[in-house]
Amino acid sequence: MSKNRYEFKRKFLEEQLERLNREREEFSKKRRYYISTALALIGLAVITYIVFFKIFQQKETGIFVSLSIILYSIFFFSKVIQYYPRDIEQKIFEIQNEIDLLSIDDTSLEERAEKLFRLHQLELKKYYDQTLIHSRLIFLVGIFSIFAGFIFIGVAFYLIFKHPVNAFSEKVLIGVLGSIGAILSNFVAVIFVKMYSETIKSLTEFHNRLVITHYLHFGNFLVAKIKDDKLRENTLSRLAENITTNLKK
């Protein structure tokens, strides 16, 4: 690769990398906004319960209003998942790797193979770190939503049987509000559990592909250490045949 062409491609990739970093920062700002809003709503729910219980002496109303606000905060926690810049992170990794590859074009065969192998190890680590954080967040939100649904049901039964009200309409209102809260929270939980299972499935498939690629880079690294050109070519040929055979299985 000529020097001018190398510099032009490197500059282009660096500009792309800078643009993607700005987009990632915008996504991070949105995620921080939704997290802050969700936490603020939880704080508001606590304050609302204290106000209704201490000032207005309406404990039951305070509980239901507070739980409704907490349920609404789950919506903002779910938006955090939506604004996880996974695709942007993947593109950034690809561009960074391409820039690294440009810097090893003029090295020896053995050094190039070693750098490619180490570069792929870093890619694996970055990918696993990202996906583990993402899947863990999905799982925790789903579990939280499930517990929120049971809490709504438990509170509704508690208010109906432990604090009986005179009017039948009030009992119906408590039961309906508790049922709606439980259904909504468990609906959110089902969505996140489904997302978690699909994420695990896709991660398993992609993991198998990464393992094959890892073996390929490691084999190339070992073959590059062979000094004899003829023996190295024969070894590469057998390596290619083995890889093709394994992929067909």
The pTM assigned to this predicted structure is 0.47
Give the pair of three-digit tokens for residue 64.
């239901």
pLDDT at 40: 92
Domain ranges for the chain: 1-85, 107-249
Place of tokens 């190039």: 112
Residue 67 predicted with pLDDT over 60: yes
pLDDT at 108: 61
Residue 59 predicted with pLDDT over 60: yes
The mean-pLDDT minimum among 23-27, 206-210, 226-230 falls in 206-210
For 178-217, what is each residue's pLDDT tens digit? Answer: 677 667 767 777 777 777 777 777 677 776 777 777 777 7
pLDDT at 143: 76
For the chain, the three-class secondary structure string (H helix, E strand, C coil) is: CCHHHHHHHHHHHHHHHHHHHHHHHHHHHHHHHHHHHHHHHHHHHHHHHHHHHHHCCCHHHHHHHHHHHHHHHHHHHHHHHHCCCHHHHHHHHHHHHHHHHHCCCCCCHHHHHHHHHHHHHHHHHHHHHHHHHHHHHHHHHHHHHHHHHHHHHHHHHHHHHHCCCCCHHHHHHHHHHHHHHHHHHHHHHHHHHHHHHHHHHHHHHHHHHHHHHHHHHHHHHHHHCCCCHHHHHHHHHHHHHHHHHHHHC
What proportion of the chain, given as a percentage, has pLDDT over 90?
2
What proportion of the chain, given as a percentage, has pLDDT over 70?
67
For 69-97, what is each residue's pLDDT tens digit? Answer: 887 887 787 777 666 666 677 778 778 77
Residue 67 has a CB neighbour count (10 Å cut-off) of 22
pLDDT at 169: 62
Residue 22 predicted with pLDDT over 80: yes
pLDDT at 160: 66
For 138-170, what is each residue's pLDDT tens digit? Answer: 777 777 777 777 777 777 677 666 665 555 666
Residue 110 predicted with pLDDT over 70: no
Quote the CA–CA distance of 61 and 49 in Å, as a whole number.
8
Band the pLDDT of 44: cuts 50, 70, 90: very high
pLDDT at 216: 73
Compute the mean pLDDT over every residue in the chain, rounded to the nearest whole number: 74
